[in-house]
Amino acid sequence: MPGLVLAGIKKTYGPVTAVDNIDLTFPKGKLTALLGPSGCGKTTLLRMIAGLEDPSRGTISLDGDDITEKPANKRKFGMVFQSFALFPHMSVAENVAYSLAIAGVDKATRRARAEELLDLVKMAGFEDRRIGQLSGGQRQRVAIARALAQKPDVFLLDEPMSALDAQLREAMQVELRLLQQKLDITTIVVTHDQREAMTMADQIVVMSNGRYEQVGSPSEIYHRPATAFVASFIGKANFLKGKAKDGGVDVGEFHFRPEPAASFLNGSAVQIACRPENVTIGAADETGPNRVSGTVTFLRDIGPTREIYVETPVGSVISEMPASTELVFAKGETVSAEFPAHALRLFPDTGDTAGASHGSGAGDRKVTAVSDKRDVAA
Amino acid sequence: MIKAAFKQGFMVLCAIYVALPIMVVCLSALNGGRSMLFPPEDPTLGRFLDFFVNEPVWLNSLENSVIIALSAATLAILITWPIAYDQWKKDTKFSKVLASLAGLPFALPPIVFGVGLSFLWTFIGGLGHMFTGILSHTALLAALPLVTISIGLQSIDRAHLDAAATMGASEGTILRTIILPQTLSYTLSGFFFVVVLSFHEFIVMFFVSASSYATVTLQIFNSLRNGFTPTMAVGAITFLIVSLIVFSLTARFGDLPRLMGADQARKD
Amino acid sequence: MSYPAVSGDIEVDREAGKGGPAFAAYIRGLGPANIIMGVITAVILFVFVAPFLLVIVVSFGEKIEGASWVWGFDFSNYIRVFVGVDWPNSVTLLYALKLYYTLAYAVLGSLIAVGFAFPFTYFMTQGSRRSQAMWLVFVLASLSMSEVFVVMGWDILLSNRSGLPALLKAVGITSWLKDTGWLAVLRDWDLASPRNVKFKTSQLATVLTMAYLVWPYAVILLFAPLSRIDRSMIEAARTMGAGSLTVLRTIVLPAVRLPVLGSLLLLFVYLLGTYVSVTYFAAPAHQTLPVSIYESIRGATLNAPFGAAQAVILLITAGIFIGFSLMLARLAERKA
């Protein structure tokens, strides 16, 4: 039995289309992350699911019942807001039991349920505190407890970690995931942080410009990106632009041959994406397929890995190799970079990547390497 | 150092300038005789006894002042709350026009409004009745709660309303459990601003009372023909104390700088 | 003759028959919220707006000797204000002069008030939130002080018997003024009697009391724009070597120019209606329109339409300047 199903959902504000023709299924008991850059429509989609916005077109159904017309207060969906939206004029316990209080549940039951939920989010003993006395992390726990109080059918979280500092964020991601699995509740998390999505989600929906680019498990999304946008938004990738030729790609003078062979028409514009950890740097005299020579321009060690920037005739390329590797390169050294055939992903060149810093002119640099700058800190 | 001293000095001088006439009035209430002398001669608290006990004309006018101020403040809140709420919620052209009309009497010279009201009440035969005095102050001072309530509504985080809705609250429930409690301090500020300004208001009441009843302020003005007496000063002191209490409470329990339009983000 | 009337009646009936239930249904269809808003709109129109319209309408009426007044439509009341009742045979500028004093006092009073309130408020906003709140309580308390009480205080302070003149005499400044001949100069300025300086009655005392009345309003009006000036902007200017005065001239003043001008206009409008200060501190020859409005409506002359006409002139003046201040506010908003 499917959980929450969106069919043909569209949302327009005047001439602006925020969400365009979305068909999605959120399986029961699973955690789905809506992932995308800001302005991609993911929050609007979440608000439509919550009933806070009316879709311009399409239907939303839960376990087969059409709930499109149901207002938010009739849906019984728990939601955690980006700012947490805890009521400052109520105590912690009153916040948590708000949904019960307005439903007319008696005081003793309310108190018991609030204590139970606060215990669940490790906030036992905080019942009578004011909201102003809580730290950011504590506020988030209270917001989660409050959203769960009405035993919601669907649990929604809008950028739940964005108000927390980086260290706390990692811990809370794991904790939230464990809680979700324990309660076995259908959950949707909106985030722009791919690491957060990959940590928590059973299923990731990558969105851009009001549409979804790909739906799949974290490893599918990472290892088999369906579009150039996904390849650039999730993790890092080297992009090489060229023309399709006999199942391979011509980039300048070089011919790249992926495995399995691609089926583009000869001459069509194609771009190759290859993750930095798949690019291996070797000595200049090594030869083989998919190997180009170049010059090392920059090196840096980041903990377990070493990044090597190489300027090649096909553009600048970034390689990420284990720091433990025996090979040592120096800046200015001539090397060769190998792009393994199985690690090449080919996409039609529509200029559609999240990095969007590369041009299409002949003299432009053809490579966009670092795509998710937000991820560097984490 | 010199700059800081200059700043402090200037502010203190301004404060003295502002406080001086008020202090003089307050101190002259201590005069023993009937005449208003400064510094007071033969200091006594007998004038307080006169004001609150011996001379019924003062107690009577104080009663009128309190009735008019409290009723006008209540009515002003009842009228402006829906206007402010409608404007905040829907922001239609109609609600904007209604809000600016509600602020009109406060923005224009009160003497013109007083003249107009005296015509209006003459036509419906209510001139000189207490209820028209109450309505007059309601209209004159409604702009104050309109502004404070609007500021209060704007300070509500809209995510709170969404949060309440996802937890099952209907529009009415949200109004009762989220909006009213969160704007209570702003509503009370508006209420007490009306009370205080109604106590002190002179010219409109001068026109609409038509000498058939008097508030303390009016009574003082009427008695001025016979010159100032120390007993009047007691009225001034009483109102000054009420003002100080009201505004101090507003500062203590509300955010007075924000209410006066200060940037919200700055807190130190 | 009767036929059209009957047909008219029938038509009216038919409309009532059609409209009645529809109207009732319409009323039923309205939620309680609409009904509340309807009642409030009616109250606003009746109590808040109608008085102003009445003043305008009455101003075109006509006084009847020995009785009250009747509706009418002529401009004689306005003509009387500007050039006198006997125009065009002769021109009397009595009321035009009153209008002049009204405007002059209001301009001077608001300028002086803003002149002192600006530095005060600027220093105030540099303090902590707590000290700001304390100053605001002080300013609001003085703002709410009735004009009657303020006049009472200044009357004591300026009265010839016990106030400033008595003090000046006691410490010997008066005799020094007499000896040096300054007293004669002050007499020319209407600030001295043959024996001592006098402030009551004088135009100086009138204007100063009016400035005093609106000073707290000026502080409140300037508080919002001054406290919203970005502190980091001032700090940035400091790090680039700007002194306090340079900061004031190059950062603060340009940022608050429009709000200051707007406050001036609002205070000016407020002062247009001052009554008690003028009756107490201005000599009859130097009194203003509000005083004569009162005389016409309640006082000795009892000529309601003429009082209304003066009130309309005040209203129009106020309306023009409020329009200006709204324009300035919109301009400031667009710049922000």
H or E element at residue A347: strand A345-348
CATH of residue C117: 1.10.3720.10
Residue to test with chain C: of B8, B71, B111, B248, most C Cβ within 10 A: B111
Q: What is the pTM of this model?
A: 0.81
Does B42 reside within a domain? no
% chain C with pLDDT above 90: 15
The answer to whether the CB atoms of C140 and B243 lie below 8 A apart is yes
Phi and psi torsions of C265, nearest 5°? -60, -45
Written as one letter, the residue type at A60 is I
Partners of C275 on chain B (C-beta within 8 Å) are: 111, 202-203, 206
Residue C91 has pLDDT above 90, yes or no: no
Q: How far does the CA of residue B177 sit from the closest CA of chain A (Å)?
A: 9
Rounded CA-CA distance A305/C259 in Å is 58
Q: Could you tell me which residue, B252 or C101, shows the higher pLDDT?
A: C101
Measure CA B187 to chain center.
Answer: 13
Does C66 reside within a domain? no
pLDDT of amino acid C21: 60
Residues A134-182: tens digit of each pLDDT: 998 899 999 999 999 989 999 999 999 888 888 888 888 999 999 999 9
Does B34 reside within a domain? no
Q: Binning pLDDT at 50, 70 and 90, where does residue C336 land? A: low
Written as one letter, the residue type at A138 is Q
Does B18 reside within a domain? no
The answer to whether the CB atoms of B243 and C52 lie below 8 A apart is no
Does B190 reside within a domain? yes
CATH fold, domain A4-223, is Rossmann fold (3.40.50)
- What chains are in contact with A, requiring at least 3 Cβ pairs below 8 Å? B
Q: How far does the CA of residue B170 sit from the closest CA of chain A (Å)?
A: 6
Residues C132-188: tens digit of each pLDDT: 888 888 898 888 788 888 888 888 888 777 777 777 777 777 777 777 777 777 777
Residue C316 has pLDDT above 50, yes or no: yes
The answer to whether the CB atoms of C269 and B3 lie below 8 A apart is no
The answer to whether the CB atoms of B24 and C142 lie below 8 A apart is no
Rounded CA-CA distance C84/C89 in Å is 10
Q: Do C310 and C213 lie in a common domain? A: yes
Note whether C40 contacts B: Cβ–Cβ < 8 A: yes
For the A236-351 domain, the top CATH level (class) is mainly beta
Q: Binning pLDDT at 50, 70 and 90, where does residue B177 land? A: very high
Residues A272-291: tens digit of each pLDDT: 899 999 998 888 888 778 88
Does C145 reside within a domain? yes
- The β-bridge relationship of strands C69-70 and C62-63 is antiparallel
Q: Binning pLDDT at 50, 70 and 90, where does residue C22 land? A: low
Partners of B11 on chain C (C-beta within 8 Å) are: 120, 123-124, 135
Q: Do C42 and C101 lie in a common domain? A: no
The answer to whether the CB atoms of B157 and A52 lie below 8 A apart is no
Residue A358 has pLDDT above 60, yes or no: no
Q: Do C143 and C42 lie in a common domain? A: no
pLDDT of amino acid B32: 63
pLDDT of amino acid C8: 37
DSSP structure class, residue C189: T
Note whether C116 contacts B: Cβ–Cβ < 8 A: yes
pLDDT of amino acid B41: 67
Domain that holds residue C54: 9-58
pLDDT of amino acid C132: 86
The answer to whether the CB atoms of C314 and B79 lie below 8 A apart is no
Residue to test with chain A: of B167, B182, B185, B186, most A Cβ within 10 A: B167
Residues B16-69: tens digit of each pLDDT: 988 888 888 888 777 766 666 666 666 777 778 888 888 888 889 999 999 999
Partners of C138 on chain B (C-beta within 8 Å) are: 15, 18
- Which of A50, A52, A73 lies nearest to residue B170, judging by beta carbons? A73
Rounded CA-CA distance C287/B111 in Å is 15
Average pLDDT over residues A222-240: 88
pLDDT of amino acid A261: 77
Q: Binning pLDDT at 50, 70 and 90, where does residue B99 land? A: very high
Residues C49-78: tens digit of each pLDDT: 999 999 999 888 877 776 677 777 777 778
pLDDT of amino acid A94: 93
The answer to whether the CB atoms of B162 and A51 lie below 8 A apart is no
Note whether A148 contacts B: Cβ–Cβ < 8 A: no
Residue C9 has pLDDT above 60, yes or no: no
The answer to whether the CB atoms of C150 and B21 lie below 8 A apart is yes
H or E element at residue B75: helix B56-90
In chain C, the number of structural domains is 2
Min mean pLDDT across A167-176, A322-331, B103-112, C146-155 is at A322-331
The answer to whether the CB atoms of B159 and A88 lie below 8 A apart is no
Partners of C41 on chain B (C-beta within 8 Å) are: 98
The answer to whether the CB atoms of C40 and B82 lie below 8 A apart is yes
* Nearest partner of B41 among B227, B230, B224, judged by Cα: B230
* Spans of all domains in chain A: 4-223, 236-351
Note whether A88 contacts B: Cβ–Cβ < 8 A: yes
H or E element at residue C70: strand C69-70
Q: Do C227 and C105 lie in a common domain? A: yes
pLDDT of amino acid C13: 40
Residue B112 has pLDDT above 90, yes or no: yes
Q: Do C246 and C119 lie in a common domain? A: yes
* Nearest partner of A113 among A96, A129, A130, A128, judged by Cα: A96
- In the predicted model, what is the mean pLDDT of chain B? 86
Q: How far does the CA of residue B149 sit from the closest CA of chain A (Å)?
A: 17
pLDDT of amino acid A371: 35
Q: Identify the burial level of A350 via C-beta atoms within 10 angstroms of its C-beta, where 0-12 means exposed, 13-18 middle and 19 or more buried.
A: exposed
Report yes or no on chains B and C touching (3+ CB pairs under 8 A). yes
Phi and psi torsions of A288, nearest 5°? 155, 175
pLDDT of amino acid C66: 64
pLDDT of amino acid B198: 92
The answer to whether the CB atoms of B207 and C298 lie below 8 A apart is yes
The answer to whether the CB atoms of C119 and B139 lie below 8 A apart is no
Average pLDDT over residues C115-130: 88
Partners of C212 on chain B (C-beta within 8 Å) are: 17-18, 21
- In the predicted model, what is the mean pLDDT of chain A? 86
CATH of residue B148: 1.10.3720.10
Give the torsion sign (CA, B193, B179, C222, B78). Answer: negative
Residue A351 has pLDDT above 70, yes or no: no
Does C84 reside within a domain? no
Residue B268 has pLDDT above 50, yes or no: no
Q: How far does the CA of residue B62 sit from the closest CA of chain C (Å)?
A: 15
Burial per residue of A21-32, b for 16 or more beta-carbon CB atoms within 10 angstroms, e otherwise: ebebebebebbb
The answer to whether the CB atoms of B243 and C155 lie below 8 A apart is no
pLDDT of amino acid C16: 41
Residues C223-240: tens digit of each pLDDT: 888 887 877 777 787 778
- In the stretch 178-207 of chain C, residues with CB closer than 8 A to chain B read none
Partners of B20 on chain C (C-beta within 8 Å) are: 153, 157
Note whether B69 contacts C: Cβ–Cβ < 8 A: no
pLDDT of amino acid B247: 86
Partners of B98 on chain C (C-beta within 8 Å) are: 40-41, 44
The answer to whether the CB atoms of B167 and A98 lie below 8 A apart is yes
Partners of A75 on chain B (C-beta within 8 Å) are: 166
Q: Do C143 and C23 lie in a common domain? A: no
- Which of B166, B168, B182 lies nearest to residue A50, judging by beta carbons? B166
Q: Please answer whether residues C201 and C283 qualify as being in contact, where contact means their C-beta atoms are separated by less than 8 angstroms.
A: yes
Does B33 reside within a domain? no
